[in-house]
Structure 1
Amino acid sequence: MFPAVRRIAAFRDSLSLGSLFLPPAGVSQKLDQGLDYERSVKIKNQKLASEYQNRTSFRIMKIQQLRALIETAETGSIHGASRRLHLTQPAVTRAIRELENECGVQLLERHPWGMAPTAEGMTLLQRARNVVRELERAEEDLSHLRGKREGRLVVGVTPLAGMAGLVEAFVEFRRHWPRVTVEFRELEFNQLTERLGNRTIDIALAAFPVNRGEAPGIVRALFAFDSVLVTRADGKYSGAKDLADLQDAEWIHTDVTDSYPEFVRGIFQDAGLAPPERITLCTSYSLFYALALKSDAVLALNLLALNETVVGRSFVELSIKPAPPPSQLFLLSPPDAQLTKPAEHLIDCILKISEVRAERLRIAAKGADCAE
């Protein structure tokens, strides 16, 4: 069986019958003028549901209807959806109304700020994105079998991943797939988990502490980065020799779990010192580095970023022990998923570059041990 056929068959079997095969559209319902908005929505849903239950025949949801729902939800307007889909606004409106009639519920509602999905619409929207993207992948598989080299590849990354061989891997990938549309999306770990699960990204390259917990899907550990404590090179704490000198410093971090704050409090308590009062979480990386460069802050930075980036030159390593937990670079792909040819090739490129970089790190570590 061809890859595209397997993909469609597997995807069809993974969904319940009711999520794709629904009764035909019926007559749209009119609501009394005097009803308030909340009551009118409730009555509309009741009528749609009643109409839905009375149907005896079935038909398949149209992919155009699902695309209309997705684009309207993402752009917040029928106008925005029509521009993305290259359709007229009446055509988009008609597709959404047909979908609502088929589902038996209202999927979108109008707000002062635009169109937004209802609770029922949000439930279908999560499935719809999966459906549309998976069918796009099937079309790409068929295209590749015909010898074409087009397609779309969405790669999720965490900030450190961009410094860990992805650039070199992408250059090699482009030599073989020059016409594939590639999107790199910087995401937090929890966002990567969610989007790998719903297949809105193809693969992910993520770096996080090795004790972060299990990552989703197929996980390949590539290599680890040692981390150190640093501060601004010309800052107040650049000459700090021990933890007592850093009690009044601003400790900033990007860890949405409590792992890093626990590490900071733990090393102070082990040294018989009161933990610092200012431990600040910042999940915006641009703001994080702005704070690090403009304030007298202490932060954990991996040696790769410290030694190989322009920003790293602005910091000085503090000789404070113990060092922060190391970070591990992981290559993630969705569970039980058939990847497209471009995705498989990019993974191969990443693995090859990672092997070279890991060997360099091993040689550097041996050299450091010999020097000691």
Structure 2
Amino acid sequence: MKIHHLRALVAIASTGSINGAAKALYVTQPAITKAVRELEAEFGVRLLERNQWGVVPTAEGAALVSRARTVVREMERAEEDMAHLKGLRDGSLVVGITPIVGTVGLTDALVEFRKRWPRVTLEFRELGFNQLNEQLRNRTLDLAFAAFAKPMADSGSVKEMFSFETVFVTRANGPYACADSLEALQDAEWIHTDVTESYPAFVRTLYERAALAPPHCITRCTSYALFYSLTQSIDAVFAWTRHSLETTELGRSFVQLALPVVPPQLQLYLLSPPETQLTRPAEYLLDCIARAIEPMLACP
């Protein structure tokens, strides 16, 4: 088994065809076919099959593809590291983010990053937490950033970076804009994006402590596109970072509520593949993000 065998298999799985793999790797179709046949002969199993959508891995092929992606990407990283040490500035960098992270300094960081690494191919993938973890494990992502209110344990692959102050907000000209108590918001719709029960439980606890019945509507919306649309279209209450409220165009549509309680701070975490050394562009992007975020941090 050689690296070109694994590259061919990964390319087929990614493109769904022999022709697509050949184009992606700049080789001929017979070369791709030969590589797959040699792999199948080595393992003694069929790795690919054809269906109505194209060429797909068999169960055995899917298991090998999962491992092969890691090997191929690590080889690419090694090749990039050697090129960078020789002064070249090419390469690729794939960064995963949870949706809210896009509002906390990535644009400024990218502008600074491009000054030093103008030729690196960048890809940002907005994903859920489970997807981030999966793609970090198979090395599809170089690094990832996730923002959560719920603390996560630091580990070799998870590191807390910063905390952001969050506040309760509503539409600036809506009927709840002047609300200054939880009681005044019992009939409001409370919207959140938490896929767990943490945020709804937090809101209900606030009301229980105030000896009040909880809000009638606590709405979960895990589609951020729809969430942003709803926040501008209905008179809802939701948590927002103070930075986004004060500096973004969307934030100007909202007003902070003068409540005696505040939502939990938002924690920004760096997630990296376990036991993997970051490439030089990845390390520099991390530095750029840290510098971009520093001015907007809430006090710990």
* TM-score scaled by length of structure 2: 0.88
Q: 1:318 aligns with which of 257, 263, 274?
A: 257
Between the aligned partners of 2:271 and 2:100, the Cα distance in structure 1 is 15
In structure 2, relative to structure 1, the CA distance for the partners of 1:353 and 1:233 (3 Å cut) is closer
Output one character per residue of 1:111-153: Cα deviation in whole Å (capped at 9) or x when no partner. Answer: 3333333332222121111010000011111212222221112
1:48 aligns with none
Q: Which has the larger radius of gyration?
A: 1
Q: Secondary structure at the match of 2:191?
A: strand
Residues 282 and 108 of structure 1: is their aligned pair in 2 closer, same or farther, counting only changes over 3 Å? Answer: farther
Partner residue, 1:291: 230
Which residue, out of 286, 290, 294, partners 1:347?
286
Q: Deviations over 1:48-90 (max 9, x none)?
A: xxxxxxxxxxxxx232332232222223333333332334444
Q: Give secondary structure in 1 for the equivalent of 2:212.
A: coil
User: Which segment is superposed worse, 109-118 or 198-207?
Assistant: 109-118
**CA separation in 1, counterparts of 2:296 and 2:263?**
22
Cα RMSD for the two superposed structures: 2.5
Secondary structure at 1:262 match in 2: helix
Q: Please say if residues 307 and 313 of structure 1, whose CA atoms lie closer than 8 Å, have aligned partners that are also in contact.
A: yes
Q: How far does residue 216 in structure 1 lie from its aligned partner after superposition?
A: 5.6
Inter-partner Cα distance in structure 2 for 1:281 and 1:82: 44
Counterpart contact for 1:217–1:332, Cα < 8 Å = no
Confirm whether residue 150 of structure 1 aligns to residue 107 of structure 2.
no
Runs of 5+ consecutive residues of structure 2 not aligned to the other structure: none
Relative distance call for 1:176 and 1:68 in structure 2 (3 A) is same
Unpaired runs of at least 5, structure 1: 1-60, 366-372
Match of 2:32 in 1: 92
Cα distance in 2 for residues equivalent to 1:89 and 1:126? 23
Instruction: Specify the SS of the correspondent of 1:293.
Output: helix
Q: Deviations over 1:264-313 (max 9, x none)?
A: 22122223333334332222211110121112322111111111111111
Q: Distance in 1 between matches of 2:176 and 2:49?
A: 54
CA distance in 2 between partners of 1:276 and 1:69 (Å): 53
Q: Percent identity?
A: 58
SS at match of 2:88: coil
Asked if 1 retains the 8 angstrom alpha-carbon contact of 2:105 and 2:289, the reply is yes
Kindly indicate whether residue 86 of structure 2 is the aligned counterpart of residue 138 of structure 1: no
Q: Is the aligned partner of 1:260 residue 2:224? A: no
Report the TM-score when normalising by structure 1. Answer: 0.72
Q: Aligned ranges for residues 187-336 of structure 1 at < 5 Å? A: 187-209=127-149, 211-214=150-153, 217-336=156-275
Q: Is the 8 A contact 2:13 2:56 kept in 1?
A: yes
Query: SS at the partner of 2:195?
Result: coil
CA distance in 2, matches of 1:272, 1:107: 62
Q: Larger relative contact order (C-alpha < 8 A, sep ≥ 6)?
A: 2
Q: Does the CA contact (< 8 Å) of 1:65 and 1:95 recur in 2?
A: yes
| Residue of structure 1 equivalent to 2:52 | 112
Structure 2 counterpart of 1:166, from 106, 121, 126: 106
Q: State the alpha-carbon separation in 2 of the partners of residues 80 and 282 from structure 1.
A: 37
